[in-house]
Chain A
Amino acid sequence: MTKHDQARSESQAGSVRHGARQPGAVYYSDDPRDIGWVRENVPCQTACPAGTNIPAYIWAIMDEAPGDSYEINREANVLPGILGRVCSRPCEDECRHGWAGNGDAVNICHLKRAAADLKHSGHRITESLYTPSGKGVAVIGAGPAGVAAAHDLSMLGHDVTIFEREDEPGGMLRYGIPEFRLPRDILTVELHNALRLGVELKTGVGIGNGEGEVSLTDLRRDFDAVLIATGCMAATKLPLKDDPDRQAVENTGNVEYGFDFLFDLHRGAVKTVGKRVAVVGAGFTALDCARVAKRLGAEDITIHIRTTEEYITVTRDEIFDAKRENVNFRGLRTPAALQTDAHGNLESIEFVQNRLGGWREDGRRKAIPIEGSQFVEPCDTVLVAIGQQAVHDFLDTEIELDWGNPVLRDGGMTSLEGVFAAGDYVYGASTIIEAVGHGREIAQGIDTWLMGRQRRKEVVRITEVDGPVRERSFDFIPRQHIPAEPVGKRCQSLTCEVETGFDSDGALEEAKRCYLCNLNYHIEVDNCIFCRACIEVAPKNCIKLVEGVDINEDGTYGELQESGEWNNVGAIWIDNNECIRCGACYYVCPTKCISITRHDLVTRDV
């Protein structure tokens, strides 16, 4: 086959070959080129650990159907109202609108929240329920991973019981995240929605070997499968000089681990801080500690980080909001010692100045201490939030660990038959969306193991679309910032939600900015007269003359082989990576050879 023939042939491959097209017609494809197309061309969805179909839910908001948008979210991430407030937003880092030259990323997360906030009261939740399987699954931990897994397992027909040590479900959502970021009524309703399919929730029940506790052995005896989703429930100890046992934090007054500080606060304890608060750490917990301290009356709050603001994992919005509340950030410093007076009371922290080093294996920057660069910062309270770790001492049967993390087989099973693990317990402290995504993935593995076969798989649903959905003018709408309470009001209370959310107009305006990357613009070469009109009107370098296209080993499309020589041109190809779905080419085409299909990655029964 010549390159010319190949290009013509490939331009008709994948979705288009399924038959004559009619607007609204729907096809399903498990062709790796179609699945690969979605993975490559819908970067936000690919970046979402739960695989949320982001263009689809934003499209529903554009259609002024927030309830539909909410359901599209629920299908993937189970807790849209929660995640729309506190997600770490890996999708926005990959959003095509944020690529160089395209402007700012779409405010994806807050549109998720808008779907939850703006759906009608009495909104009807939809679930695809399977018939009862007769199998029982115990889930240990009612955090995001456990709840997401329990939801899916229950939907798949299994009888699920959650065992939760705390008095209320939610895990880090309830006990780790302050109410001013995540109102508890939203949390309660969404957890209830996730568990109302028949999940039995047993709170105040610890798993362990103590009195009144249930052992893992008991659970393995009473249930067909057990899922451990206990998260990371121990603060990482702060290493300091002359403190080999890492006990300085516990042994110094007015110094506390941020994780314990927040958990105690949300269990109902009365917490106090001094006027000058130093927070050591750089994650969401560190920022939450600083902002809680502000609301508890601290006047001078500084977050001390080992690297710099650019390299910490929290969202830019979180940093901005903390700064609005007068929280200071100081980079390139590592705590070396806690300095106390003669009575053991905290006086200051001794730091060592750092410089940036290379990159760690986990993708973060290294900080290299500079010899002889010690300096001191006075403070009244220190909150240490440098990470969390999983604990395993509640298990009465050992499981195989690798560097403190359980070793998982395919499907998420640990070294113990029938015992699975998910979420932060497996990989260490991560994000809520990662925990939800992993919980759902392991639920799928448990179902496959229990039922002896895979019951669901991913396919691409391809829908013929009757013309462009976006307008070129949408590309010039600036990113809409979510309204927030004034600093003076928000800081008066621990429960005053800071962000107030989009109204319907704001949500619609922001939704219009989405390129709807799940739309595939496609030129039918047989009808193309190579007039170049589409190339002339394209606002970007998105329509290309190609000799052929590489095919990757897995069957997906690779690089385009562009050509400047007309004799070698096999096809005119729309580069969907460059395309901003403005529709200009569609409207100008004299032969109407440009078609549009919508590609949604969905789960179907095998």
Chain B
Amino acid sequence: MPTPRHHVIIGSGSAGFGAATTLRARDPDCRISLVTLSSLPFYNRYDLPDIFRGRHDWRDLLPIMPAMYDELGITLRRNSRVVDVNGTAQSVEFAHRETLHYDSLLVCAGGRGYLPEILSDYRPLMHNFASFEAAMEVHTALPKGGTVIMLGGDMLGLDLAFTLLDTGYKVALVTTPQTFWPHRVDDQLRGKLVAALEAKGARVHGDSAPVAVEEGLPGAPARRVILQDGTEISGDVVMPFCGLVPAVEFMLSAGVDIERGLLVRPDLRTTGENIWAAGDVCQIWSDSDKEYRFYHGWRNVREMGELAARNMTGSDEEFVAEDDGRIWLDKGSNICSTFWEH
């Protein structure tokens, strides 16, 4: 009796989870290990702003209950940090010193929030929004009606900003080149989008770059952001939203090509044997653009995960972007983006 193939998926976001369920549907006998740094099973990160609408129970965010992983025959390995991938030995090494062998590996590790290097010293004074736990920390730290100082304002951040404004909080947005990431907007559109944000109640600071974050003065809100021109902005919580940096550190010795993300062919194969990549972690070769491109947005990421799984089980399909990356204002001057569609 042949040994079933062992598919290891690193990352249990929408790409990884979609890949796991697709693999199971196409290969009932295979072994699937879904590895995640998270303490929780897959939940949709796009739903995290709902915490400010009262969704505080993490179970409400899960698309499937944990028991379903057993029923699907997917081994979910939570709290597991991958520190190395050996492409020759076809093995994954964990921080807890375990080695896991694979027949095929799919990397869906996503990205972590980019923090401009100039602000890196101030990381301990900021909050992120990368997980349910982190989101709850923000919720706890933010007093009712309090102010979030948002640095950058990528599309993940702006989604949160609208929820905050909708629920009685204040948002001070310090724009940077990463505002509206991953969209590339020209000056004219940028001006209209910023005006739309202000119309929704956000206080926008667009004239000077943030250079420091400090503790608040006694009796004042907990944080201050200092801009290059000396302006100080007070708030209760500081949150950088400056786009994502692919999480590839653990792949450096795997023998695959990396630029900013893992470089993959249109069928999502990396240059390493039996290694695929999907989601925010990969750059896909675009023959028309003659370059490796990132494709962000929930629909693209989910499609990549499922496509990779199909190709890992015998298909030969190329990725076609589901999301064409548009941002616009509707008739009511509301900001709309394909990034948010799911």
Question: Is B290 among interface residues, defined by CB-CB distance under 8 A?
Answer: yes
Question: Is B231 among interface residues, defined by CB-CB distance under 8 A?
Answer: no
Question: Is B27 among interface residues, defined by CB-CB distance under 8 A?
Answer: no
Interface contact A101-B252, CB-CB below 8 Å: no
A343-368 vs B, CB cutoff 8 Å, 1 = contact: the mask equals 00000000001011000000000000
Interface contact B84-A487, CB-CB below 8 Å: no
Whose C-beta in chain A lies nearest to the C-beta of B97? A101
Interface contact B97-A540, CB-CB below 8 Å: yes
With A and B bound together, what is the CA distance between A325 and B285 in angstroms?
31
CB under 8 Å from chain A, chain B span 268-302: 271, 285, 290-292
Question: Is B95 among interface residues, defined by CB-CB distance under 8 A?
Answer: yes
CB under 8 Å from chain B, chain A span 368-422: 370, 372-373
Contact of B118 among A355, A356, A487, A541 (CB under 8 A): A487
Chain B residues within 8 Å of A356, by CB: 257, 259, 263, 271
Interface contact A101-B263, CB-CB below 8 Å: no
Question: Is B117 among interface residues, defined by CB-CB distance under 8 A?
Answer: yes
Interface contact A373-B290, CB-CB below 8 Å: yes
A329 shortest CB reach to chain B, Å: 9
Chain A residues within 8 Å of B263, by CB: 355-356
Chain B residues within 8 Å of A101, by CB: 83-84, 93-97
Contact of A488 among B211, B260, B285, B292 (CB under 8 A): B211
Chain A residues within 8 Å of B252, by CB: 310
CB under 8 Å from chain B, chain A span 96-138: 100-101
With contacts A100-B93, A324-B120, A488-B211 taken as known, whether A370 is within 8 angstroms of B290 at the C-beta atoms is: yes
With A and B bound together, what is the CA distance between A540 and B95 in angstroms?
12
With A and B bound together, what is the CA distance between A372 and B285 in angstroms?
15
Interface size range on A against B: 20 to 34
With A and B bound together, what is the CA distance between A356 and B270 in angstroms?
12
With A and B bound together, what is the CA distance between A332 and B260 in angstroms?
10
With A and B bound together, what is the CA distance between A315 and B97 in angstroms?
27
Question: Is A203 among interface residues, defined by CB-CB distance under 8 A?
Answer: no
With contacts A100-B84, A353-B290 taken as known, whether A332 is within 8 angstroms of B259 at the C-beta atoms is: yes
With A and B bound together, what is the CA distance between A325 and B93 in angstroms?
35
Interface contact B291-A353, CB-CB below 8 Å: yes
Question: Is A472 among interface residues, defined by CB-CB distance under 8 A?
Answer: no
Interface of A is mostly: mixed
A157-197 vs B, CB cutoff 8 Å, 1 = contact: the mask equals 00000000000000000000000000000000000000000
Question: Is B258 among interface residues, defined by CB-CB distance under 8 A?
Answer: yes
Whose C-beta in chain B lies nearest to the C-beta of A373? B290
Question: Is A308 among interface residues, defined by CB-CB distance under 8 A?
Answer: yes
Whose C-beta in chain B lies nearest to the C-beta of A578? B97
B225-263 vs A, CB cutoff 8 Å, 1 = contact: the mask equals 000100000000000000000000000100001111001
With A and B bound together, what is the CA distance between A370 and B288 in angstroms?
12
Question: Which of B96, B211, B292: most chain A CB closer than 10 A?
Answer: B292
Interface contact A373-B291, CB-CB below 8 Å: yes
Whose C-beta in chain A lies nearest to the C-beta of B85? A100
A323-339 vs B, CB cutoff 8 Å, 1 = contact: the mask equals 11110000110000000
With A and B bound together, what is the CA distance between A323 and B83 in angstroms?
25
Interface contact A323-B258, CB-CB below 8 Å: no
Whose C-beta in chain B lies nearest to the C-beta of A320? B117
With contacts A356-B263, A488-B211 taken as known, whether A323 is within 8 angstroms of B117 at the C-beta atoms is: yes
Whose C-beta in chain A lies nearest to the C-beta of B259? A308
Chain B residues within 8 Å of A353, by CB: 290-291
Whose C-beta in chain B lies nearest to the C-beta of A329? B260
Whose C-beta in chain A lies nearest to the C-beta of B119? A324
Whose C-beta in chain B lies nearest to the C-beta of A324? B117
CB under 8 Å from chain A, chain B span 81-123: 83-84, 93-97, 117-118, 120
B91 shortest CB reach to chain A, Å: 11
A84 shortest CB reach to chain B, Å: 22
Chain A residues within 8 Å of B228, by CB: 488
B262 shortest CB reach to chain A, Å: 11
With contacts A308-B259, A310-B252, A324-B117 taken as known, whether A541 is within 8 angstroms of B97 at the C-beta atoms is: yes
Chain B residues within 8 Å of A100, by CB: 83-84, 93
With A and B bound together, what is the CA distance between A101 and B250 in angstroms?
11
Chain B residues within 8 Å of A310, by CB: 252, 258-259
Interface contact B260-A308, CB-CB below 8 Å: yes
CB under 8 Å from chain B, chain A span 451-489: 486-488
B120 shortest CB reach to chain A, Å: 7
A276 shortest CB reach to chain B, Å: 15
B224 shortest CB reach to chain A, Å: 16
With A and B bound together, what is the CA distance between A488 and B228 in angstroms?
9
B211 shortest CB reach to chain A, Å: 7
With contacts A101-B83, A101-B97, A373-B290 taken as known, whether A324 is within 8 angstroms of B257 at the C-beta atoms is: no
With contacts A100-B83, A323-B117, A324-B117 taken as known, whether A372 is within 8 angstroms of B93 at the C-beta atoms is: no
With A and B bound together, what is the CA distance between A488 and B226 in angstroms?
12
With A and B bound together, what is the CA distance between A487 and B210 in angstroms?
12
A584 shortest CB reach to chain B, Å: 15
Chain A residues within 8 Å of B96, by CB: 101
Chain A residues within 8 Å of B83, by CB: 100-101
Chain B residues within 8 Å of A373, by CB: 290-291
Interface contact A331-B84, CB-CB below 8 Å: no
Chain A residues within 8 Å of B260, by CB: 308-309, 331
With A and B bound together, what is the CA distance between A308 and B259 in angstroms?
5
* A-B contact list, 11 entries, CB within 8 Å: A101-B83, A101-B96, A308-B258, A308-B259, A310-B259, A332-B259, A332-B292, A353-B290, A356-B259, A372-B290, A488-B211
Query: Apart from A101-B94, A308-B259, what 14 extra A-B contacts exist at CB < 8 Å?
Result: A100-B84, A309-B260, A310-B258, A325-B118, A332-B292, A355-B285, A356-B257, A356-B271, A370-B290, A372-B290, A373-B290, A486-B212, A488-B228, A540-B97
